[in-house]
């Protein structure tokens, strides 16, 4: 079974600075998808960024980028020029690409605080 | 932007009672999901639903749980005889699933408290 580990329960960053959230996963599959979701307080989880395992190029979405290291099974999220609105719980998630399983496997989350 | 909506936001129920959590997925989505998060723990998959039947379920999703799409819009999770350990945040999600990199869109969740 696949597992996802987020080793940082909490992180903080100064506004306008850069922060990196860690995520590692364990799988025997060769093809899969990885996601970062953001959950602001009392709000729904929103997709931040996704990565297909067969793509070597790291995904980027504006100020958000990932460092995907397939051999190391690592998928970290970098937030550049942090803004107060980035404060939230961030969840890393895994999904199989084949075999019909649509379920997401989540990490425990990292609570990000942005200090003005 | 269309959203997944869940009602109620908070449900308090006596142990042993039945509870129904409701979700309205995004209208053109075909796959529907329920997840739960016990306080301080990971978000866990419960069940996925496609074409009016369960396509996958976890070990958590035992006989006390059921899902239904009673009409063209609602997607419900029923817990038949609630236990204290069912207290959790329950998230509904939906996806288009034209291909598997399409993300699942989540609702705000229902906080279920069992007394």
| pLDDT tens digit sequence for B8-59 | 999 999 999 999 999 999 998 999 999 999 988 889 999 999 989 999 999 9
Q: What pLDDT, on the 0 to 100 scale, is given for residue A42?
A: 72
**pLDDT at residue B87 in the model:** 97
What average pLDDT does the structure give for chain A? 93
CB contact A64 to B (< 8 Å): no
For residue B103, pLDDT beyond 90: no
- Range A84-96 average pLDDT: 95
Tokens 């996704």 correspond to A50
A69 phi, psi to nearest 5 deg: -115, 95
Contact A45 B106 (CB under 8 A): yes
How many other C-beta atoms lie within 10 A of the C-beta of residue B81?
Answer: 12
Which residues of chain A neighbour B33 with C-beta distances below 8 Å? 102-104
Predicted confidence band of residue B98 (pLDDT cuts 50, 70, 90): low
**Interface contact B42-A107, CB threshold 8 A:** yes
CB contact under 8 A, B42 and A52: no
pLDDT of the residue at B28:
87
Interface test with A, best of B100, B102, B107 (most A CBs within 10 A): B100
Distance in angstroms (rounded) separating the CA atoms of residues B31 and B37: 20
Restricting to B residues 8-47, those with a Cβ less than 8 Å away from any Cβ of A are 31, 33, 35, 41-45
Q: Do B56 and A102 touch (CB under 8 A)?
A: yes
Q: Is B52 exposed, middle or buried (0-12, 13-18, 19+ CB in 10 A)?
A: exposed
pLDDT at B53: 92
pLDDT of A70 higher than 90: yes
CA distances from A17 to A23, A82, A83 (A): 20, 5, 9
| B68 has a pLDDT exceeding 60 | yes
CB contact under 8 A, B103 and A47: yes
pLDDT (0 to 100) of residue A18: 98
- The residue-averaged pLDDT of A83-96 equals 95
Range A16-30 burial, b when 16+ CB lie within 10 A, else e: eeebebbbbbebeee
Residues A4/A104, Cβ–Cβ less than 8 Å: no
**DSSP letters of B1-58?**
----EEE-SEEEE-TT--EEEEEE--TT--EEEEEEE-TTS-EEEEEEEETTEEEEE-
Q: What confidence score (pLDDT) does residue B105 get?
A: 93
pLDDT at residue A43 greater than cutoff 80: no
Of residues B2 and A85, which shows the higher confidence score? A85
Residue B108 touches partner A, C-beta closer than 8 Å: yes
- Binary contact (B100, A50; C-beta < 8 A): no
- The rounded distance, in Å, linking the Cα atoms of A59 and A51 is 6
- Tell how strand B88-95 and strand B110-114 pair up: antiparallel
* Facing B100 at nearest CB: one of A33, A43, A106: A33
Q: Cβ contact (<8 Å) for B48 and A103?
A: yes
Is a pLDDT exceeding 70 seen at residue A1? yes
Chain centroid to CA B77? 5
What does the pLDDT look like over A16-42, one tens digit per residue?
999 999 999 999 988 899 999 999 887
Q: How far is B38 from A61, CA to CA, in rounded Å? A: 31
């Amino acid at each position: 079974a696949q597992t996802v580990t987020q080793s940082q329960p909490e992180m903080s960053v100064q506004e306008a600075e850069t922060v990196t959230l860690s995520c590692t996963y364990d799988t025997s599959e060769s093809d899969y998808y990885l996601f970062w979701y953001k959950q602001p307080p009392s709000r729904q989880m929103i997709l931040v960024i996704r990565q297909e395992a067969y793509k070597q190029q790291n995904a980027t979405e504006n100020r958000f980028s990932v460092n995907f290291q397939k051999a190391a099974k690592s998928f970290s999220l970098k937030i550049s020029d942090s803004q107060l609105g980035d404060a939230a719980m961030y969840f890393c998630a895994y999904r199989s690409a084949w075999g019909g399983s649509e379920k997401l496997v989540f990490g425990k989350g990292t609570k990000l605080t942005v200090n003005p | 932007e269309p959203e997944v909506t869940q009602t109620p936001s908070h449900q308090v129920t006596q142990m042993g009672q039945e509870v129904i959590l409701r979700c309205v997925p995004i209208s053109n989505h075909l796959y529907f999901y329920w997840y739960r998060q016990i306080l301080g723990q990971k978000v866990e998959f419960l069940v996925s639903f496609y074409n009016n039947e369960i396509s996958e379920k976890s070990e958590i999703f035992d006989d006390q749980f059921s899902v239904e799409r009673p009409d063209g819009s609602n997607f419900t999770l029923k817990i038949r005889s609630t236990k204290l350990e069912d207290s959790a945040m329950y998230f509904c999600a939906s996806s288009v699933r034209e291909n598997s990199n399409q993300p699942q869109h989540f609702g705000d969740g229902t906080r279920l408290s069992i007394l």
